[in-house]
């Protein structure tokens, strides 16, 4: 059982630490027995005396029985004051690891460090006694996920012995897990060959047929043969190295008392994320130091050297602009990843797949780079275009598979697949339907595999989510859908601040931000580069005139009468929506290039809500006609939306009692106002337009007031818009909805 007097400062569950200590002691003592190498001890002088070479004791002959536990129950620290303890620790000496008489445990000639490290990581899987007992569920298959081929092979070579020692360690807790069979998936090359896969499947099938409880070391659940998948009960991921594991290993390798200067060691250790970057040879080299504190200091020095030698990574989340919601989601994902990497959160609890969607230039690719940069993990990126460049269908599929295999081998990492809409939908019938189906099916299989791989964050990107096969973006493949829209005024200012750095505080950013409303983040960043270039070429400090000139290149100042028309148009939408008690938009915006009204469609579309929505859609055109005496081409998109809504209400959604036939969207594209079908839809739209026009005529002053606020602020959110509208009485149309739509 664990040493009774150990005080711990750890977030790792107590059961896990107790099991880890007990398992490590069993591994350590078993190594003594097998190598027949005793522990080496030094006299009382060396830890406290600089002149120690002549005082080293001769090693005793190998005893027949190696002691299983140290007999030293008091430490040198027990007889020292706090200042004396601190002085020794400053010199790298651990008085808690040394016996009261000064006896110190030095390393064995052949210390089983790799075995101890893997044993500590295996013990960290079990947070509670019940998790340990679950290993022996009747005829169950447990997947031990180790994505990296090389690490899996090294671990599996030691695993039967580690599992045997784990069973002995759990015996001390009254938990019996003896008699478990193990199997291992070979490396990617062998597993992908027919012979390698068959040998693996045959071994798992044989172990199952014999009635064993089986632990399979593989990458993901998809690696299991059918029988293994049927009996699969759980997936456990081999956790990465942590500071807690280092301390527990040091109790065995560098302490004669079972105790260590835990607080002082933690002060010297690198953080867990840095520790996990050290490969096995570096970890083992650090443990050749003589004392616990020297080992910790060596580990820290090695991680510092790794940081110094690393190639500069890409951007981080702090260095890019993201909408607040997206920024929060990514930070939560980073936090969950960090907890998983330290063994405090199972991967099954991490929402690790995110679909990014929005217009071009909104930062989808940049977000993937920044997420990987913030986490300090690799980014493996692919796209439809990259795979298509490889050649015919077979080359396409091979290229996609290779990127997935590289991702699994690189975990933890970010897998980013762009242009998801280019993979098309399997439901769309055309001459390449078979090709599309094979490509989409392969993508579905790969995304599922990656979602089952611990440590892999899957990001997908599309400009047109409605064009993506629904099976690709359903929950289970992409659990979270995150919109990346063009930045609002605050977002544009934030991009300026990021791109301009310290010089942003010397510039007036508000006018430029107003004029760039509606543009993508990439366009805003390009404006900054243009302004910098102008300043550089004129050999002057960046000033407001450079920024204005750069903005002029992409967003020339519009005429005041055009801005007024755009403001009247957007105000018409808002006033009609307010009159009909429809939800107000999240945001209304005007720019020299047009306006934006981000309205909301009710979830359950009834005949009334659709008719009211069409009236709101036509409210902009109605406002131009009533207040300006003419209409402009700015209503083109509104008319398209109104036509689609009116058509679907009659011929797709069955909202009219005299028609339950759904004729499909093909007919929508063929509508002609002179044909009967088009004539009916046109008549509906005219009725809704007249209704919107009556509302605007009755509330002309309110439309003007909203337009004035838009001209002054350029962008108004829903709450501010509600305040403007609430300050005036509203006049509704006298035409009832039912009278208009028949």
* pLDDT at site 730: 67
* pLDDT of the residue at 105: 64
Q: Which of 355, 454, 420, 570 is nearest to 144 (CA)?
A: 454
Residue 39 has pLDDT above 80, yes or no: no
- Helix H, strand E, coil C: the string for 546-590 is HHHHHHHHHCCCCCHHHHHHHHHHHHHHHHHHHHCCCCCCCEEEE
- DSSP state at residue 183: E
| pTM of the predicted model as reported, rounded to 2 decimal places | 0.63
pLDDT at 49 over 60: no
pLDDT given at position 260:
93
Give the pLDDT confidence score for residue 60 in this predicted structure: 33
41: pLDDT strictly greater than 90: no
- Give the CA angle between residues 493, 496, 501 to the nearest 5°: 125
- Residue 480 in 3-state DSSP? strand
Q: Highest-confidence range of 28-32, 480-484, 548-552, 731-735, by mean pLDDT?
A: 480-484
More confident residue, 210 or 308: 210
- Cβ-contact 601, 613 below 8 angstroms: yes
* Confidence tier at 179 by pLDDT (50, 70, 90): confident
> How much is the average pLDDT of 722-733?
74
DSSP per residue over 4-22, as a string? TT-----SS-HHHHHHHHH
What are the tens digits of pLDDT across the range 80-122? 999 999 999 999 999 999 988 877 765 455 778 999 999 999 9
Strand order in the sheet with 594-597: 594-597, 587-591, 715-717
Band (pLDDT 50/70/90 cuts) for residue 45 is very low
- The predicted-structure confidence for 593-616, as pLDDT tens digits, reads as follows 888 887 666 656 788 989 999 999
Which residues of 171-326 form beta strands (DSSP E)? 180-184, 213-218, 232-237
Band of residue 555 on the pLDDT scale cut at 50, 70, 90: confident
- pLDDT tens by residue, 344-367: 888 889 999 999 999 898 889 999
For residue 354, the model assigns a pLDDT of 95
CATH architecture label of 489-554 = Orthogonal Bundle (1.10)
- CATH number of the structural domain 560-741: 1.20.58.760
Assess whether pLDDT exceeds 70 at residue 9: no
pLDDT at residue 677, as a whole number: 75
Residue 733 has what pLDDT? Answer: 60
Kindly report, as residue ranges, where domains of CATH 1.10.8 are found in the chain: 489-554
Q: Please name the residue that has the structure tokens 């505080």.
A: 505
Distance between CA atoms of residues 628 and 113, nearest Å: 83
- Label residue 7 by pLDDT band (50, 70, 90): low
In 3D space, the residue among 641, 648, 623, 634 whose CA is nearest the CA of residue 700 turns out to be 623
Mean pLDDT of 731-738: 58
What integer pLDDT is reported at residue 139 of this predicted model?
82
d(CA 366, CA 459): 12
- What pLDDT was estimated at residue 91? 92
Instruction: Note the pLDDT of residue 4.
Output: 47
Residue 490, phi then psi, degrees to nearest 5: -60, -40
CA distance 634 to 611: 21
Who contacts 575 (Cβ-Cβ below 8 Å, separation ≥6)?
619, 623, 695, 696, 699, 702, 703, 706, 725, 730
Which pLDDT score is estimated for 368?
94
For 388, other C-beta atoms within 10 Å of its C-beta total 16
Q: Is the peptide bond before 412 cis (omega within 30 degrees of 0)?
A: yes
State how far Cα 289 lies from the chain centre: 38
For residue 110, the number of C-alpha atoms closer than 13 Å in the C-beta half-sphere is: 8
List where CATH 3.40.50.300 sits in the chain: 317-483
Fold of the CATH domain 317-483 = Rossmann fold (3.40.50)
Q: Are 18 and 174 in contact (CB under 8 A)?
A: no
582-595 pLDDT per residue, tens: 888 888 888 878 88
Rounded to a whole number of angstroms, the distance between the first and last alpha carbons of the chain is 83
Query: What long-range pairs does 507-515 form, CB within 8 A, spacing at least 24?
Result: 507/542, 507/543, 507/544, 507/547, 508/544, 509/547, 511/548, 512/547, 512/548, 512/551, 513/489, 514/489, 514/714, 514/715, 515/551, 515/555, 515/557, 515/591, 515/592
| Per-residue pLDDT tens digits for 502-532 | 888 888 888 888 888 888 888 998 999 999 8
* Contact predicate 472/447, CB 8 Å: yes
Residue 57 burial (C-beta neighbours within 10 Å; 0-12, 13-18, 19+): exposed
Over pLDDT 70: what percentage of the chain?
A: 85
> Quick count: other Cβ atoms within 10 Å of Cβ 587?
18
pLDDT at 161: 92
How high is the pLDDT of residue 434? 65
**Predicted pLDDT of residue 44:** 37
Percentage of the chain modeled with pLDDT above 90: 35
Check whether 740 has a pLDDT greater than 60.
no
Number of separate helices (H) and strands (E) present in the chain: 32, 14
What's residue 68's pLDDT? 44
Task: Please report which confidence band the pLDDT of residue 741 belongs to, taking 50, 70 and 90 as the band edges.
Answer: very low
Task: Tell me the β-bridge partners of 183.
Answer: 216
Contacts of 9 (CB under 8 A, 6+ apart): 262, 263, 266
Helix, strand, coil percent values for the chain (each to nearest 5): 55, 10, 35
pLDDT confidence of 415, banded at 50, 70, 90? very high
Structure tokens given for 537: 């070429």
Q: 736 versus 97: which is more confidently predicted?
A: 97
- pLDDT class of 74 with cuts at 50, 70, 90: confident
Local confidence band at 576 (pLDDT 50, 70, 90 cut-offs) = very high
Cβ-proximal residues to 420 (8 Å cutoff; 6+ apart), any chain: 355, 384, 460, 461, 462, 468, 472, 473
* pLDDT score of 240 more than 50: yes
Give residue 433's pLDDT. Answer: 62
Taking the C-alpha atoms of residue 335 and residue 324, their distance in angstroms, rounded to an integer, is 16
Question: Which residue has 């880890």 as its token pair?
Answer: 20
Mean pLDDT, the chain, integer: 83
Nearest to 11 by CA among 230, 327, 271: 271
Tens of pLDDT, residue by residue over 666-716, are 566 666 666 777 788 889 999 999 999 999 999 999 999 999 999 888 888
107/122 Cα distance (integer angstroms): 23
Structure-token pair, residue 471: 């099976």
Average pLDDT, integer, range 236-243: 87
State the pLDDT at residue 437: 83
Distance CA 328, CA 333 (A): 9
């Amino acid at each position: 059982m664990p040493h009774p007097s150990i005080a711990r400062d750890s977030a790792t569950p107590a059961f896990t630490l107790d099991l880890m200590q007990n398992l490590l002691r069993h591994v350590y003592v078993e190594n003594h027995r097998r190598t027949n190498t005793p522990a080496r001890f030094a006299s009382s002088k060396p830890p406290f005396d600089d002149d120690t070479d002549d005082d080293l004791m001769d090693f005793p002959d190998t005893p027949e029985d190696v002691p299983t536990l140290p007999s030293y129950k008091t430490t040198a620290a027990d007889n020292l004051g706090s200042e004396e303890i601190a002085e020794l620790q400053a010199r790298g000496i651990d008085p808690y690891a040394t016996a009261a008489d000064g006896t110190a445990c030095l390393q064995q000639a052949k210390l089983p460090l790799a075995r101890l490290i893997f044993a500590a990581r295996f013990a960290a899987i079990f947070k509670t006694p019940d998790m340990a007992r679950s290993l022996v569920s009747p005829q169950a298959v447990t997947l031990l996920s180790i994505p990296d081929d090389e690490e899996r092979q090294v671990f599996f070579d030691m695993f039967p012995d580690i599992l045997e020692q784990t069973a002995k360690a759990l015996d001390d807790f009254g938990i019996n897990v003896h008699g478990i069979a193990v199997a291992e998936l070979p490396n990617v090359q062998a597993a992908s060959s027919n012979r390698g896969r068959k040998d693996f499947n045959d071994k798992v099938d044989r172990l199952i047929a014999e009635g064993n409880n089986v632990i399979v070391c593989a990458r993901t659940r998809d690696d299991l043969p059918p029988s293994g998948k049927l009996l699969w009960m759980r997936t456990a991921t081999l956790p990465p190295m942590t500071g807690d594991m280092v301390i527990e290993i040091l109790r065995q390798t560098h302490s004669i008392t079972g105790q260590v200067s835990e607080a002082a060691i933690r002060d010297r250790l690198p953080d867990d994320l840095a520790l996990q970057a050290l490969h096995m040879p570096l970890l083992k080299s650090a443990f050749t130091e003589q004392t616990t504190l020297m080992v910790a200091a060596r580990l820290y020095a090695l991680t510092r050297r790794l940081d110094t030698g690393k190639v500069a990574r890409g951007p981080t989340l702090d260095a890019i602009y993201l909408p607040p919601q997206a920024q929060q989601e990514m930070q939560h994902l980073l936090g969950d990843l960090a907890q998983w990497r330290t063994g405090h959160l199972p991967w099954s609890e991490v929402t690790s797949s995110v679909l990014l969607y929005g217009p071009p230039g909104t930062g989808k690719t940049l977000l993937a780079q920044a997420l990987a940069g913030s986490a300090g993990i690799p980014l493996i990126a692919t796209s439809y275009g990259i795979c298509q460049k490889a050649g015919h269908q077979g080359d396409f599929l091979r290229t996609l598979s290779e990127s997935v295999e590289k991702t699994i081998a690189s975990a933890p990492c970010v897998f980013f697949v762009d242009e998801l809409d280019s993979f098309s939908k399997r439901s769309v019938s055309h001459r390449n339907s078979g090709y599309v189906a094979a490509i989409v099916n392969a993508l579905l299989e790969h995304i599922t595999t990656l979602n089952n791989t611990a440590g892999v964050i899957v990001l997908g990107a599309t400009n047109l989510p409605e064009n993506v096969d629904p099976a690709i973006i359903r929950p289970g493949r992409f659990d979270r859908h995150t919109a990346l829209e063009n930045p609002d005024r605050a977002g544009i200012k934030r991009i300026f601040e990021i791109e301009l750095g310290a010089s942003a505080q010397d510039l007036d950013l508000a006018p430029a931000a107003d004029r760039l409303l509606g543009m993508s983040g990439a366009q805003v960043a390009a404006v900054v580069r243009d302004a910098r270039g102008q300043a550089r070429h004129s050999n002057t400090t960046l000033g407001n005139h450079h920024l204005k000139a750069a903005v002029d290149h992409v967003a020339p100042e519009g005429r005041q009468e055009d801005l007024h028309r755009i403001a009247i148009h957007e105000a018409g939408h808002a006033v009609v929506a307010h009159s009909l008690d429809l939800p107000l938009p999240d945001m209304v915006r005007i720019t020299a290039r047009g306006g934006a009204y981000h309205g909301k469609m009710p979830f359950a579309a009834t005949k009334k809500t659709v008719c009211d929505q069409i009236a709101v859609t036509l409210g902009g055109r109605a406002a131009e006609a009533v207040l300006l005496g003419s209409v402009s081409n700015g209503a083109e998109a509104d008319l398209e939306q109104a036509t689609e809504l009116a058509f679907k209400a009659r011929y797709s959604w069955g909202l009219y009692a005299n028609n339950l036939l759904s004729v499909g969207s093909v007919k929508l594209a063929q509508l002609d106002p002179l044909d009967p079908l088009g004539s009916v839809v046109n008549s509906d739209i005219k009725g809704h337009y007249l209704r919107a026009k009556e509302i605007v005529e009755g509330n002309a002053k309110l439309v003007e007031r909203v337009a004035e606020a838009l001209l002054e602020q350029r962008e108004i959110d829903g709450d501010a818009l509600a305040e403007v509208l609430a300050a005036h009485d509203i006049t509704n149309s006298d035409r009832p909805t039912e009278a208009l739509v028949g």
